[in-house]
Structure 1
């Protein structure tokens, strides 16, 4: 009796629908989950043919399945899970997975059907399919933009190849670009290619968790490629003389606090970004967008080249001599032999290892600072980290 009560409790509280029928297809029992799924009360279905819960053509085929099984002994759906369509009381049709087991009880055959609603799973699969399609379009778009950028670099090569000095400089830049591109482009593109292949596999098996994981990897890879392309576009605009300082008055403290709030979200592990301001005055007259690019670039580098538990200091100061912005980290530092070339395009220190980067960020910072009539310099050691200082005159 205790076992029977336990079994009854399990059936009544199961999250999937459970229906039993006899060898003629007549419903003998239905649990609460199945009642909720089909929107019937037990008394409305018990004693009736199971076909009432199926739309055409499944309803017409079900009795034939049972007849064939009784005649041949060969099951077509018994013991095999398959996807079907269920019919609710109000006529609504929904996808479901049905598993049927045969039970010999009291000298007769009883068939137990276990029903799992696939509505949400199908919606999730369709949404993921659409998202993957969108990401593929985005990758194609970014690839085209990359090709356009490479064409622009080729045009720049033709313009500077008139003199030997320019040819030598171009060759040097080209070698650095190829070395950087072979690594920085290959890594995210390889990740995208692998994830797309795995998505096809997991989509067929309905593995939503792994689908989401690889879609997230594709999204991050596209973001990395976008950042690289943006660096190229910034440099291209600078070379073409399309960038100029457009100064305005703004509060430097509010500006810095906003950047800290944004950048803290990108920090690694337990990294902490700390801000401090010196001086009574807080207003400056500079190009807000150019300065934002400079500061975020320096903090991004500090995050990237520092440990997970370091502190990064952003300090601002306004006095009679001018405005100063400093960013300090206690990261890996810059080797002495690399320091004189650090602001050059495509140049990276030899201790960066596998840390990603284009070698363009500090070149852009230095040129933006000059556009605002300021100066940029740094001090660094592999023991004490790096301090970047941006100084601007008071207008």
Structure 2
């Protein structure tokens, strides 16, 4: 395994990407091939894979085992959870999320792609674009993943036929364009053999584009959220009982977007109380400025009643608070989401009671048509919802911030995650209609 110096690593950018595709399309094999051929696999890991493969009677190492780490996955030969891998090349660092292909594990794909800047969607060259391919493309579009790679796998099983690849690439690109995916790069590969994964394929001289790794190393990455409106969801109020700091009151959390600086006027939401930043502590040391993803403690000039779930924002960029939220959601629970459903809505670090007032539409993945007012969403459905919350929430549009523009709905009875939502996102749903639902005691 080649080594990368500390200086080289610090100079590289970071790309978060996710893989998705139908069962047996070869996602885990692609990831294993990518890790193996880029020399990102430790010797003991490779030896373990070789032992397991040999015990199954396989002549060559099954590279899919590099990501299929759970025993249940190995026994079934499928990926049923999100497998995260961290690796680096001299040109870039990577955080990879290998997501499951089974329909019933779509929730895991939502989890894996929610922070990704790029999604690799695999298609079996023998089967072409199928329903699960469309579902994964729709989720990537909803989550506003800026880059998509269509990896047409198992080209060796169709004789490396250029026409097969071209037809699949044309169909998928047209579908993704309708969804609003800004960029699609199609690459013909064979993950099992290694064609166009890390090294160019000698079997497809008709293809002149990049390999998968080359594209991953060179695709523009713009995940710097420091230019966004600053947001700090309060996770914890720090009040040490110490003689050295008798009056210390700090508000700790991870900055979701933007940056804060000492002396800046801020507003605490949803209360609307204003103050100024008196100090910022980072890793126990005072700093003048802090920015996105840093975990910090803010100290304010005024003694304000602040608790977990509040949001600290610059006064000049404070979002409006609302109790009425319209969003596009992906339903991930086995139990359906229905009109009138009483739920908990978790936004940032705040959780409030809410009720589903209306489900204006459900998306049909085959032709991207909208089924108006379905009344409910079942597992893996994508649809529009209108929600009324018990307390006002300071929400951003998902288009402006993937962190503060997202939420989840939770079953208040058992804590099950029901739905992942994106505020304001839409597939051109029809105009909402007054629902006239009886609140049944939930008078918000």
Indicate the TM-score class for this superposition, using the shorter chain for normalisation. under 0.3
Query: Which of the two has greater helix per residue?
Result: 1
Query: Which of the two has greater strand per residue?
Result: 2
Which TM-score applies when normalising by structure 1?
A: 0.20
User: Whose RCO is larger (CA < 8 A, sep 6+)?
Assistant: 2
Which TM-score applies when normalising by structure 2?
A: 0.19
